[in-house]
Amino acid sequence: MKKVLAIVAIVMISVITIAFAQSSGEKKEKVQTGVVLQMNNELYIKNITDYRNANEWKYKGDLPAVIDFYADWCGPCKKVAPLMKELAKEYEGKIKIYKVNVDNEKDLASALNIESLPTILFIPMKGVPQVVIGSADKATFKQAIDQVLLGKKTK
């Protein structure tokens, strides 16, 4: 009986050890949808494009994207932020919405010539990105998403 209990204990410890090793070894990136994702320079290079080595625009994403370049001190940026959250929920699974704090990501903002805030970048799956500089209302953002990113025709 003691041998059986010892074998069961060894098997249980082995199973727990293997499960823990697999879960800690797998660093899968969780992709959230329906939320605005904070983006840094590294994430931009990984998910959008590597502006450092690219001679031409090549988007790496799997869905069209919107990037809101903002600063915490920017009044108009504070008006755009809740609209981006609403749009992320409305267009969940159709587009990704990111935000970049230009004070924290100065190299990225400089490389992309972000000079006015907010600057909203609309990135379609094919073609070149479109830019909206300054605050706009939700209807304007929806129209840009529908036309530029999702290719819907206006009525």
Q: For this structure, is 101 an active site residue?
A: no
CA distances from 30 to 10, 26, 43, 57, 81 (A): 33, 11, 13, 26, 22
Burial group, residue 137, by CB count within 10 angstroms (0-12, 13-18, 19+): exposed
Q: Which of 65, 74, 114, 121 is catalytic?
A: 74
74 is catalytic: yes
Q: Side-chain half-sphere of 87: how many Cα atoms within 13 Å?
A: 28
Token pair 């932020």 is found at 81
CA distances from 81 to 51, 98, 108, 150 (A): 25, 11, 20, 21
Q: Could you say which of 36, 65, 77, 87 is catalytic?
A: 77
The rounded radius of gyration (Å) of the Cα atoms in the chain is 22
Active-site residues, by number, are 74, 77
